[in-house]
Amino acid sequence: MAPPASSRRPRRPAPELLFGDLWPYDPAPETADPRIRPEYDLFIGGRFVPAADGTRFTSINPATERPLTELARGGPADVDAACRAAAAAFPRWSRLPGAERGKYLFRLARLLQDRAREFAVAETMDNGKPIRETRDFDVPSAAAHFFYHAGWADKLAYLAPGRTVAPLGVVGQVIPWNFPLLMLAWKIAPALAAGNCVVLKPASNTPLTAVKLAELLQEAELPPGVVNIVTGPGATGAHLLAHPLVRKVAFTGSTEVGKVILRSVAGAGKRLTMELGGKAANIVFADAPLDQAVEGIVNGIFFNQGQVCCAGSRLLVQESVAERVVAQLRRRLRVLRVGDPLDKNTDLGAIVSREQRDVIRGYLRAGVAEGAELWQAPFRAPARGFYVPPAVFTGVTQSHRIAREEIFGPVLSVLTFRTVEEAVEKANNTPYGLSAGVWTDKGSLILRLATELRAGVVWANTFNKFDPASPFGGYKESGFGREGGRHGLLDYCAVT
Amino acid sequence: MRASSAPPALRRWFAAVGPVDRVGVEERVAKFTTRSIKKAAKVQGLKLAVSMVDLTTLEGKDTPGKVASLCRKALRPHDDAAVPAAAAVCIYPSLVRAARRALGPRSPVRLASVATAFPSGQTALATRLAEVRRAVADGADEIDMVINRGAFLAGELTRVRDEIAAVVATCGPAALKVILEVGELETYDHIRAASCLALGELRPGDFIKTSTGKTATNATLANTQVMLEAIRDHYLETGVAIGMKPAGGIRTAKQALHFLVAVKETLGDAWLTPARYRFGASALLNDLVRQLEKERTGAYPAPYAFSEAAESY
C-alpha cells in the first residue's frame, strides 16, 4: 500500500504483530458420544459376520495413540463371500424402479444428518482431523452426496439423452484414509443410484465410519447384499479389485498403488476409475486480493493437515509480491491452532498415522538437505499423538523433491515466477494434474489459465471447493474417470 | 460502482491499495464465528468488551437528563463492581457540556462527540470544523467525524484527505475517529480504499470507524475485517498503530465476542485494549452484563434487572 502523498511522517521500522495469550481460548472439547463398539465385524449380505479366519486388527486414535476398536480382518474368502452376496443382490436391485432406489438413498442421507454429530466425532477420533472439519465439511458433504444421487436415481433416462444407460453389476471400491466417510459417499451413492451393487473396502487406518455406516444401511433396510463392507489390509483391497465378479473398479489412493492395481486388472475387461495423487499449483498474481489469497493458500495446503490429493502444495507467487505474501502467510499461520482434534477451536489436528508422520518428517529433512529454507509455525507438541505443525519452504526450485513429489502433509513449497507463461509452464511441469488454483483480479487471465493448466479442477480465487454436482478427477498420473455430477454417474453406467 | 468504472484517481488508488475479494473475506470471517469461547475465556472476553463500549445515544429527542443517566451507566454498568466501566459515552455536540458535567472533569469514561454535520456531513467544511472546535472546547475527549462520501465516490480523493487532515488539526488533543460510512461505500474495494486513505492522515490513538448507525448497513464482521487488514498493513508499513471502532448493529454479547476473535487473530494482542478497539453500541452493554451475570450465577436475570434497559438505546 503506497502512503498518501500528503503523509510526511518519518519512517520507523515497524514491529511485528504480537499473537500471544493475552486472551487465550479455554479448551472447548466436543462431547457428543461417538457410540463406538469394542468390536466390529464385516458387513456381508446385510449381516455382520466375523472374518472367515476369525482374525482382527486394531484401529487407533492418532491423536492419543490409544486403541479405538477391534475390526475383523477380511481376507480372500471374505472378499469372495461379499462379491457373491453383491452378485446375488444385483438382479433385484437393478430392476427396482429408480424412484425406489432413490428412497433408500434419501433415507441414508437423512439418517446420516440425524446422527451427524456422532459420525463427526467418530471420524475425528479415527482419523485425527479436527472436529471443525468433520462437523462442517466431511459429514455434511457425505450427506449431500447421498441427497444429490438420490435425486438422480429416477432420472437416469436423462443422463445421456438419446441413449440408454444400464448398471454394470458388482462394483469393487477401495477408498483412502484422508476422507473416510466422504470418499465412501462419493463411491457408494452414484453406484447405488445407477443400480449397481457394491463391495467396499475402507482404508485399514480409518475403517470406523464405514462400519458405522453399515449400521445405518441396516437401519435404512437396504436389501441385503446391495452394499457390503469388508475391512482389512491393503492386500484385501487387491483381492477385491481383482475378483472376477467385480465388473467395475473404483479406486482412490496413491498413484503408486493405482499403478499396481492397473497392472493386476489389465485385460480383465473391468471398467476403471482412478483418483490418484496430486501436486497442485496455487498461482498467485500480483494483482490478486492478497489477504484472501493467503487465506486460500492456507485452506489449500493445511486443510485436513494437507492430507488431500488436490492440496495446493506448490505455491507459485509472482515475484513482485512474493515477499509480502510469504510474510502474510507466516503471520496467518501463527494464529492457526494445532492440537487436540476434538477441540472445537482446533484448525489442524493429528496426522493419520505414525508412518505418515514419519514420511512427512522425511520430506522436511529432504527439503532442508536440498537447500530450501524451512519455516514452521511455533508449536508445542502434545506428549502423545502424531503431529506436524504447518511448514513452509521458501527458495524451492522445480527440481527439489518437495516440489515434485506428493508429500500428503502440511508442507507448502513456495516458488516464484515472473510471467504468465512461466507460471503455466511451472504449474504443468509435474506428472500430476488433479487441481490448480488461480488468484487474480483479472477475469480474462482466469479464463486463459483455466484452459492452459492441465488439471482436472481449476479453482479461481478460491481453493478446495467441492459440490456433488461438480465432477472431480485428474489428468495424467492423477488418474482418470470423474466422480460427482453427470460425468461421475456415467462412470457407473453402461451407455448403449 | 465497479472498480473498472470508477474515476481515474480512484482507480489508481484502488491499484495502489489492492482489491478485496467479497467471497473470500466473507468466508474468512465466517470462521471467526465458529470459535468456541467458553468459561474463563468467555468471562474475560465479556469484560474486555464492556471496557470497549462507546455507550451511544444519537437521537433528536436526547435530553441532558438522558445523557446524564447514560454517563452514570457508562461509569457503573452494573451493581457488580467486577464489571468494568465502559470506554466512553458518545453523543451529539449540543449535549457535550451536559455530559461533561455528569462525568466530571477527570472521568475514567471518555467523552466522545460526533461532529462534522453527523451523519451526512453535507455542510461546508468551515461549518464542520467549527462544530469540531466547539465540541472540543465544551469538553469532548474524542471526536467522531464522517468522511465526505460524495467526494470519495466522485474520485476527489485529495479533497477527502485534506478534509480529514483539517479535522485532525482542529481536534487538537482530542482523539479522532473517522467514520467511513461503509453502507454508502457499497463495495469492499471502496472500504479498503477509504480506510487506507484515512489511515495516512491519522495520529497514533486515532481510530477508523465503520458507520454512523444511520444507514441500512452498519458494522459487519466482513467490513470490519477489511478495515482491520488495512490497519494491519498501515501499521506494518509505517509503525503507526490506529484503532478500530465497529459501530451499529452489534447488539449481542456473542456478536461482540466474534468481533474480538477477529481482532485477536488479525491484529493480535496489542489491539485487545480500549485504547485501540471500541464498540459503538447501546443495547450491547446490557447484554454483555447479562451474560456476565449468567456466568457468575448460572441463571439469566430478567431484562428489568438492568438499569437503562431500553430498546431505544
Domain CATH code at residue B118: 3.20.20.70
Q: Closest Cα partner for A105 from A143, A68, A157?
A: A143
**Dihedral of the CA atoms B234, B235, B241, B245 (nearest 10)?**
50
A252 and A200 share one domain: yes
Nearest CB among B21, B158, B264 relative to A289 is that of: B21
**pLDDT category, A357, cuts 50, 70, 90?**
very high
Q: What is the mean pLDDT of residues A437-450?
A: 97
Strand partners, B90: B56, B112
What is the CATH classification number for the domain harbouring A132? 3.40.605.10
Are the C-beta atoms of A312 and B40 separated by less than 8 Å?
Answer: no
Chain B: residue whose CA lies nearest to A327: B236
pLDDT given for residue A2 in this prediction = 46
Residue numbers of the domain that contains B122: 3-305
Q: Are residues A158 and A113 in the same domain?
A: yes
Q: How far is B218 from chain A (nearest CA, A)?
A: 22
Does A23 map to a domain? Answer: no
Judgement on whether residues A345 and A376 belong to the same structural domain of the protein: yes
Q: Tell me the average pLDDT across B62-79.
A: 95
Q: Is the pLDDT of residue A8 over 90?
A: no
Residue A254 DSSP symbol? -
Interchain pair A6, B162: CB under 8 A: yes
Mean predicted confidence (pLDDT) in A452-481: 96
Instruction: List the domain range (segments joined by +) for residue A208.
Output: 39-276+475-495
- A148 and A218 fall within a common domain: yes
Q: Are residues A92 and A219 in the same domain?
A: yes
User: Which range, of A345-354, A376-385, B16-25, B87-96, averages the lowest pLDDT?
Assistant: A376-385
B268: chain A residues, CB-CB within 8 Å: 17-20
User: Are A177 and A68 part of one and the same domain?
Assistant: yes
From chain B, the residues in CB contact with A18 under 8 A are 268-270
Same domain, A241 and A171: yes
Domain co-membership, A154 together with A227? yes
The question of whether B47 is a catalytic residue gets the answer no
Instruction: Give pLDDT tens digits for A304-339.
Output: 999 999 999 999 999 999 999 999 999 999 999 999
Check whether residue A300 and residue A432 sit in a common domain. Answer: yes
Q: Looking at residue A326, which CATH number applies to its domain?
A: 3.40.309.10
Q: Do A254 and A334 fall into the same domain?
A: no
In a domain, A21, yes or no: no
* A22-33: pLDDT as tens digits: 999 999 999 999
What residue of B is the nearest CA neighbor of A11? B238
A65 assigned to some structural domain: yes
The active-site residue, picked from B141, B144, B189, B287, is B144
Is residue A360 in a domain? yes
Q: How many domains does chain A have?
A: 2
Query: Does A216 score more than 60 pLDDT?
Result: yes
In this predicted model, what pLDDT tens digit does every residue of A140-154 receive, in sequence order? 999 999 999 999 999
Residue A351 counted as domain residue: yes
Distance from CA of B112 to the nearest CA of A (A): 26
A324 at B interface, C-beta within 8 A: no
Q: Is the pLDDT of residue A14 over 60?
A: no
Q: How far apart are CA A462 and CA A23, in angstroms?
A: 31
Residue A6 lies in a domain: no
Q: What is the pLDDT of residues B149-197, one digit of tens each?
A: 999 999 999 999 999 999 999 999 999 999 999 999 989 999 999 999 9
- Is residue B310 domain-resident? no
Per-residue confidence (pLDDT) for residue B5, from 0 to 100: 64
Q: Taking residues A91-116, what's their average pLDDT?
A: 98
Contact B35 A462 (CB under 8 A): no
Q: Is the minimum CB–CB distance between A158 and chain B shorter than 8 Å? A: no
At residue A60, what is the residue type? I
Q: Which three cell numbers stand for residue A120?
A: 463427526
Do A290 and A256 lie in one domain? The reply is no
Q: 3-state DSSP call for residue A369? A: helix
**Considering only CB atoms, which chain A residues are within 8 Å of B18?**
1, 287, 289-290
The Cα–Cα gap between A377 and A104 comes to 47
Residue A313 counted as domain residue: yes
pLDDT at B1: 44
Closest by Cβ to B16, choosing from A2, A23, A344: A2
A258-316 tens-digit pLDDT: 999 999 999 999 999 999 999 999 999 999 999 999 999 999 999 999 999 999 999 99
What pLDDT sits at residue A6? 47
In a domain, B59, yes or no: yes
Stronger pLDDT, A6 or A377, i.e. the higher one: A377
Among A9, A22, A291, A330, the residue to mutate for chain B (most B Cβ within 10 A): A291
Q: How far is A159 from chain B (nearest CA, A)?
A: 32
What is the domain count for chain B? 1
Q: What is the pLDDT of residue B180?
A: 98
Residue A207 scores a pLDDT above 70 = yes
Q: Do the beta carbons of residue A285 and residue A250 sit within 8 Å? A: no
Residue B313, pLDDT > 50, answer no
- Alpha-carbon distance B279 to B87, whole Å? 9
Does residue A98 form part of some domain?
A: yes
HEC profile of A183-220: HHHHHHHHHHHCCCEEEEECCCCCCHHHHHHHHHHHHC
A14/chain B closest Cα distance in angstroms = 4
User: Does residue A141 sit in the same domain as residue A56?
Assistant: yes
The angle subtended at Cα B243 by Cα B241 and Cα B249, nearest 5°, is 155
Q: Which residues of A are catalytic?
A: 275, 309
Residue numbers in B near A288 (CB within 8 A): 19
In sequence order, which residues have a C-beta less than 8 Å from that of residue A263 and are 6 or more positions away? none
Amino acid (1-letter code) at residue A6: S
